[in-house]
Chain A
Amino acid sequence: MRTATGEVICRMHVVYTMAETEERTGPPVTLIDPIDMSKLDTKFREEIKSMPNGEELSACFACSTCTAACPIANIWKYKPHQLIRMMLLGMREEVLMSNEIWLCLTCYQCQERCPQKVRVTDIFFDCKNLAAEQGKVPPKVVALAKELLTKGQLYSVTADWEREDMGLEPAVPGLSVEAVKTILGSTRTKRLAGGEE
C-alpha cells in the first residue's frame, strides 16, 4: 500500500491456509451441545432470586459485559454471562458442579460494570453456598473451614518476637477465638469440616 506521495506504508500478503482444504470433522465450534430440556430445574432461578443479592438475576439481557470485565474468563469453560443464562434456564447441576464458581476471584469487576445491576459476583457467592449445601467444596477450602472451626481464625501468632520487635504486645490484644468457634460449630461450617473430630 502506498500513500498519496508514493511512500510504502505496509505490504499486505494474502495467505491461504491449509485449513480451507481440510475436511470438517465436527460441528462448528460456535455450536454448543443441545440442552436437554427434561433436565432443567425451572425453580432454580427462583431459588437464586430469593437469596441475598439474587433479586436482579432476571434483569440480565445477555450483553456479556460481565465476561468482558472478568480478568480470567478466558480460561473458563462457562463464561460469567453464560453462567447467569444457565441459572435462568434452570441448569442447576451444571452451575453448582462447575469449577468456575470457585475460581471466581470475587473482584467484583463484572458486577460493577453490569448495565442491568445484576449482582454477578454476589450471585456466584450464593451458588457456592448452594454447592456447599450439597457438600461440593474444593478440598483446600474445606481445610480453611476446619481452621476456622478449630482455631477460630485463619492465622495464629507463632513468631511473637516479630511483634515485640515492633513494640507490639506479643499476644494480640482483645483476641478471643471462642465466639467464632461457637458460632461456626452450629452452622454449615461444622457440617462441612467437623467430621473427623
Chain B
Amino acid sequence: MPVYNLYIGCSVPVNYPNYEAAMHRVAQAFDMELLYMEGVACCGSPNLRAIDHMGWVTVNARTLAIADKNGHDIVTPCNGCFGSLKDVYHLLKHDDKLRNKINQVLKKEGLEFKGTTTPRHFVETLYNDIGIEEIERKITKPLDGVGIAIHYGCHLLRPVDVTEFKPEYLKELVEVTGATVVEYPLWKQCCGATVLPVDESLGIRLARDKLKSMKEAGAVFATVVCPACGNQLDLQQLGLKESYGEEYSLPVLLYPQILGLAIGLDEQAVGLSMNRVPANPILSHLGS
C-alpha cells in the first residue's frame, strides 16, 4: 500500500470539504494511504511569492523537509500548493547556495531539506502509481460518453520543466470513467483567480471567457483539480449572472467526484450537493 504525506493546504478544507472527502474515498478504494502532515499550514500562494520570496521559499522548504524526515512523497489536491511546493523543490534542487541558507534556518527545528521525497498532485499519483489499467478494473458505473471539459489549471501544467505534469494524465483519467473529453480552444487559459486581488473585473472576465469556450465546444460538464479554479469556474457562475446577466449552467466537478461516482460511490460520499452549480445531472449519465 503506497503511503503519502497529505498536504491539504488552506483552501480545500475550508471551501471544498467535498473535494477532500471524495479524494479520501477514492484513495481508500485504490489502497492509497494519505496521512495528514503534522505541523504545517498555508503554502503562501503566488501572492506570497510575489512579495516575499525568502519567506515563501522558507515556508515551503519546511514542508518539504518534514516529508523528507518520514520519507513519504507529498500529495496535494490543490494546484496552488502544488505549484509552490514544486517551484521551491526545483529551486532548492538546483541552487546549492540557497539550499544551504535555508537549511541553516530549518536546522533550528531539527529539519533539513534533502530533496529525497517529491511533492506531487493527487491526480498525478493516481495516474502514475495506481495506473489507468488498475483504475479501469474498479469502474462499476461507467459514464455514458457524456462530454466533460477539463480545466487543468496553470500551475498544474506550467512551467513544464518544474511541474513535470503532462495533460494526458488527466485526460486519460477522465476518459477511463467512460466520459468523453471535450476539446475547446481556451483549454490552456487561466481561470483568472490569481489576478482577483488586483483587478477583480478582469478575473471575472477570464472566468467568463473560459466557461464560454467550454460551452461553445459542447461541454455538458467541466472538471477541475484545484480549489481556486473551482471558485472561478463553479462559484463565479453565480457572479456572472449579476455582472454579465449570463447563465452558463455548466456543472463543475472536482475530478475525484467523477471517478468516485464511476467506481460506485454514492452522491453523498462525494459531496455532490456542495457544488455551487447543481451537479446532480451527472447521476443520469452513470451506467449501472
Contacts and interface: CB of A to CB of B under 8 A. Distances in A.
A187 B55 contact: yes
Given A72-B202, A166-B18, A179-B39, A144 B53 contact: no
Contacts of B190: 71, 105, 107, 109
Contacts of A152: 41-42
A92 interface: no
A189 interface: yes
Given A107-B154, A154-B11, A145 B159 contact: no
Interface size class on chain A is: 35 or more
B244 interface: no
A63 interface: no
B116 to A, nearest CB: 21
A72 B190 CA distance: 10
B260 to A, nearest CB: 12
Interface stretch (B128-136, B166-174, B193-201): B193-201
Contacts of B235: none
Nearest to A147: B42
Interface size class on chain B is: 35 or more
Contact of B14 (A52, A155, A166): A155
A183 interface: yes
Nearest to A133: B51
Interface stretch (A3-11, A12-20, A83-91, A168-176): A168-176
B8 interface: yes
B195 A154 contact: no
A119 interface: yes
Contact of A189 (B55, B95, B202, B271): B55
Contact of A107 (B11, B39, B45, B189): B189
A57 B209 CA distance: 32
B21 A144 contact: no
B53 A189 contact: no
Contacts of B155: 106, 108
A71 B49 CA distance: 22
A188 B52 contact: yes
Which of A108, A109, A145, A162 has the largest count of B CB atoms less than 10 A from its CB?
A: A108
A177 B39 CA distance: 7
B36 A174 contact: yes
B109 A179 contact: yes
A103 interface: yes
A140 B46 CA distance: 14
Given A71-B190, A109-B188, A129-B50, A153 B55 contact: no
Interface in B71-124: 91, 95, 98, 105, 109
B44 A125 contact: no
B41 A138 contact: no
A177 B17 contact: no
Interface string B222-251: 000000000000000000000000000000
Nearest to A117: B161
Contact of B36 (A71, A105, A173): A173
A-B residue pairs, 9 tightest by C-beta = A108-B158, A153-B42, A187-B55, A107-B190, A166-B21, A140-B197, A173-B36, A153-B10, A174-B36
6 contacts: A52-B53, A52-B95, A125-B49, A138-B198, A175-B41, A187-B58
Given A125-B46, A187-B55, A187-B58, 16 more contacts: A52-B95, A72-B202, A75-B202, A103-B202, A106-B194, A107-B190, A112-B158, A137-B51, A141-B50, A143-B197, A144-B45, A153-B10, A154-B42, A166-B20, A168-B13, A179-B41
